[in-house]
Amino acid sequence: MAKELSDSVAVLAGVGPKKVQALNKLGINTIEDLLTAYPFRYDDYAARKITEIGDQEKVALKGTVATEPVLSHFGRQKNRLNFKLLVEHDVIMVTFFNQGYLRSKIELGKELTIYGKWNHKRQSLAGMKILADENSNELGGVYRSSKEIKQSQVKKIIEQAYSEYEDVIVDIIPDCLIKKYRLLSRKEIMHGIHFPEDQKSAKLARRSGIFEEFFLFQARMQYIKENENINNGLKIDYELEKLKQFIANLPFELTNSQKKVVNEICHDMHLQRHMNRLLQGDVGSGKTIVAAIIMYAAITAGFQAALMVPTEILAQQHAIKLAQLFEPIGVNVALLTSSTVTRVKQKRELLSNLKKGTINLVVGTHALLQPDIEFANLGLVVTDEQHRFGVGQRQILREKGKSPDVLMMTATPIPRTLALTTYGEMDVSTINELPKGRKIIKTQWLKNKQLASAYEFIERKLNNSSQAYIVSPLIEESEAMDLKNAEEIFDKTTERFGSRYHVGLLHGKMSSDKKENVMTAFKDHKIDVLVATTVIEVGVDVANATVMMILDADRFGLAQLHQLRGRVGRGDKQSYCLLISDPKNEYGIARMQIMTETNNGFVIAQKDLELRGQGDILGNKQSGMPEFKLGDPINDLRILQIAKEEAQQIIGDERFKQKKENEELIKYLNRTLLGTSFD
Ligand SMILES: Nc1ncnc2c1ncn2[C@@H]1O[C@H](COP(=O)(O)OP(=O)(O)OP(=O)(O)O)[C@@H](O)[C@H]1O
């Protein structure tokens, strides 16, 4: 069979089911995914001079082995390999931990290049690897890896895929653009980024790669838009009186801002054209109720509505709330997450009811995207925190109805120019006020040594029958560490409060039943203090919780800190946020200061961008922007804009389909946007 980049990674020799699974977990399914799984940084393997390297720097040193290697064992499985290396005129000590098998490679008098971490005081190198001769002038790409698949394995598989498939790597971007912007070919980009000769060639390949990535992203957005225009949207003829009644029966009056956005969205849904709208509003500004109102509008017009959220906890919470709101008026609400659909009988019933249309509103996670889920008449899709779902995924959900209207909600506002560039011509509605009576959350930054007084503060609030959250530090690299940390903090907190208060624990690895039980207990005030990992980040809503303590707060980006803080201050009691941290750099300090100075999510988003512009990349994943592999929408904004203009021109061209030079682009769009076709 002819080789294609859409082949599964499983076709590669030596990549068995286990490796396939591990790669899939990293988001790599096809050869194309593999070839675009670019290194996130490079290790510089060019040999350096001792005089020019700093303490703890990772470097390659070239020298002659000056003593026989000594291998010593300690503990059960641990060992250490030591030897001296003459590097120009200096003799340094090299130590490899648990790599005893290297001993045979280290011969007295032999010249070796060793990559490792330099300790200036001890004049020693903690060895990481011995570089092969052909490596010694190269940049070594560092790839995303996991517990299941090692860095070196990922790298090897990429090398293998490249050598087997290099002949079928063709340019997707039309030739005219490649010429106009003097871009490298797709094959050169892949080669140059994975296997660069030096920094300069890596940079050059990246530049073209960024353009390609942005262009393809914009082409997809543009294509979806064109397609929507062709298909036309739904006209949602809602019953105004019912809607008014529903709003009048809410336990509170809508804020002016909420009223304004409800009007905007209803107007848009009522039009024949397809709705593609972003609803942004600060944490706690009451977006959920707006979503409920407009979903009800769609339901009164005889359609089904779906609400898609990023976590199970959130799905459960919304389902409970929406059921309370809707069941009294005869609207059926269902919950669909991967744990509800594992129970066979329940699943069958649920699917059949969705298909029959007896369920009016379904709340769910990614599980809503499964192919066996069909709707009778899906008219509106609302997604919460849109950046967590890819464009492709939203497209799938949309195809489950006849081009239902779409509303995306986000609490991480991004400045308008950037929103337009990254999300295409989406319409934007903004809630710019908080419900009446909300008090500003008082935020304080404390050092780790002040932790005891923070606990005292929490206890005083608990004495007043309030509740508190304690968020354990984020450890991005390791889920296992994340969990261990949360458990330790849970133990300490339990000990600290003794039998006086109940402490609960919530983390991502718990089964969803357990999570639900803990959340319900916290809501019902059977738990006073909830120790949690960032699973509580979005949308959790318990008005009686008034203290949020975040440990090692400098590990979080601004957007995420603001989200976490937004879990308190949701009722009319005074709320507090305690940031515990000893930041390690100026950006960490800046983040703490910004958090104590403002409660306004729009200001925070702007500051986040400014810091990122200066090189603070911690917040990268958390900033509400679509994730790119190579490009950065802020630092490479100019390229993004150009890519967008070009994509608009090319896709918008009446003769787009007929032009030979667009052939590969059309193929690409069809294979990445599943199921959608031009005809
Ligand atoms: N107009 C209002 N007056 C009083 N309370 C309101 C109003 N609108 C919403 N609320 C309440 O405020 C709380 C926060 O609202 P909601 O959960 O909808 O906020 P959100 O914008 O979705 O926030 P987040 O982004 O944090 O999830 C909820 O308990 C909700 O019932």
Q: Is the ipTM of this complex over 0.95?
A: yes
Q: Which atom of ligand 1 is nearest to the CA of 289?
A: 18
Q: Is residue 357 part of a domain?
A: yes
Same domain, 593 and 457: yes
Q: Judge whether residue 674 has pLDDT over 60.
A: no
Enclosing H/E stretch for 160: helix 151-165
Cα–Cα distance, 84 to 94 (Å, whole number): 6
Among protein residues, the one with the nearest Cα to ligand 1's atom 4 is: 435
User: For residue 58, what is the domain's CATH number?
Assistant: 2.40.50.140
Same domain, 331 and 451: no
Tell me, in angstroms, the distance from the centre of ligand 1 to residue 238's CA. 24
Q: Is residue 275 part of a domain?
A: no
Same domain, 403 and 461: no
Q: Which atom of ligand 1 is nearest to the CA of 290?
A: 18
User: Per residue in 206-249, pLDDT tens?
Assistant: 999 999 999 998 898 888 777 766 556 788 999 999 999 999 99
Q: Is residue 171 part of a domain?
A: no
Tell me, in angstroms, the distance from the centre of ligand 1 to residue 284's CA. 5
Q: Is residue 426 part of a domain?
A: no
Same domain, 393 and 463: no
Using a pLDDT cut of 70, give the percent of the chain over it. Answer: 88
Q: Is residue 405 part of a domain?
A: yes
Domain total of the chain: 3
Q: What is the largest CA-CA distance in the chain?
A: 90
Tell me, in angstroms, the distance from the centre of ligand 1 to residue 266's CA. 19
Boundary of a domain, candidates 91, 111, 137: 137
Same domain, 493 and 386: no
For residue 121, give its domain range.
Answer: 46-137
User: For residue 482, what is the domain's CATH number?
Assistant: 3.40.50.300
Same domain, 330 and 455: no
User: Per residue in 120-172, pLDDT tens?
Assistant: 999 999 998 888 765 555 778 888 888 888 888 999 999 999 999 999 999 99
Tell me, using a 6 A CB cutoff, whether residue 283 lines ligand 1. Answer: yes
User: Per residue in 317-368, pLDDT tens?
Assistant: 899 999 999 999 999 999 998 776 566 778 888 999 999 999 999 999 878 8
Q: Which atom of ligand 1 is nearest to the CA of 566?
A: 26
Cα–Cα distance, 200 to 365 (Å, whole number): 43
Same domain, 496 and 362: no
Q: 3-state secondary structure string, 609-646?
A: HHHHHCCCCCCHHHCCCCCCCCCCCCCCHHHHHHHHHH
pLDDT for 81? 93
Nearest Cα to 354, choosing from 414, 415, 304? 304
DSSP string, 59-84: EEEEEEE-S--EEEEETTTEEEEEEE
Q: Which of 311, 388, 570, 577 should be mutated for ligand 1, with most atoms under 8 A from CB?
A: 570
Same domain, 479 and 545: yes
Tell me, using a 6 A CB cutoff, whether residue 467 lines ligand 1. Answer: no
First to last CA, the chain: 27
Which residue shows structure tokens 């682009």? 665
Tell me, using a 6 A CB cutoff, whether residue 567 lines ligand 1. Answer: no
Same domain, 395 and 473: no
Q: Judge whether residue 417 has pLDDT over 50.
A: yes
User: Per residue in 496-530, pLDDT tens?
Assistant: 998 999 999 988 778 878 888 898 899 999 999 99
Q: Is residue 35 part of a domain?
A: no
Q: Is residue 643 part of a domain?
A: no
411's tokens: 């609490």
User: Per residue in 436-478, pLDDT tens?
Assistant: 888 899 999 999 999 999 999 999 999 999 999 999 876 655 5
User: Per residue in 255-265, pLDDT tens?
Assistant: 999 999 999 99
**SS3 call for 432:** coil
User: What is the average per-residue pLDDT within 265-275?
Assistant: 89
Q: Judge whether residue 20 has pLDDT over 50.
A: yes
Tell me, in angstroms, the distance from the centre of ligand 1 to residue 286's CA. 3
pLDDT for 619? 42
User: What is the average per-residue pLDDT within 20-42?
Assistant: 90
Among protein residues, the one with the nearest Cα to ligand 1's atom 30 is: 286
pLDDT for 96? 93
Cα–Cα distance, 234 to 236 (Å, whole number): 6
pLDDT for 622? 45
Q: Which atom of ligand 1 is nearest to the CA of 286?
A: 18
Boundary of a domain, candidates 137, 161, 181: 137
Q: Judge whether residue 620 has pLDDT over 50.
A: no
Cα–Cα distance, 42 to 140 (Å, whole number): 5
- pTM summary value: 0.67
Same domain, 369 and 488: no
Same domain, 497 and 369: no
Q: Is residue 630 part of a domain?
A: no
> How many C-beta atoms lie closer than 10 Å to residue 544's C-beta?
15
Same domain, 524 and 580: yes
Q: What's the chain's Rg over C-alpha atoms?
A: 28
Average pLDDT of the residues of the chain: 86
Q: Judge whether residue 392 has pLDDT over 70.
A: no
Name the pLDDT band for 397 (thresholds 50, 70, 90). low
pLDDT for 446? 96
Cα–Cα distance, 61 to 118 (Å, whole number): 10
Q: Judge whether residue 675 has pLDDT over 50.
A: no
Boundary of a domain, candidates 109, 137, 165: 137
Q: Are 312 and 301 in contact (CB under 8 A)?
A: no
Residues 6+ apart with CB under 8 A from 137: 45, 46, 197, 198
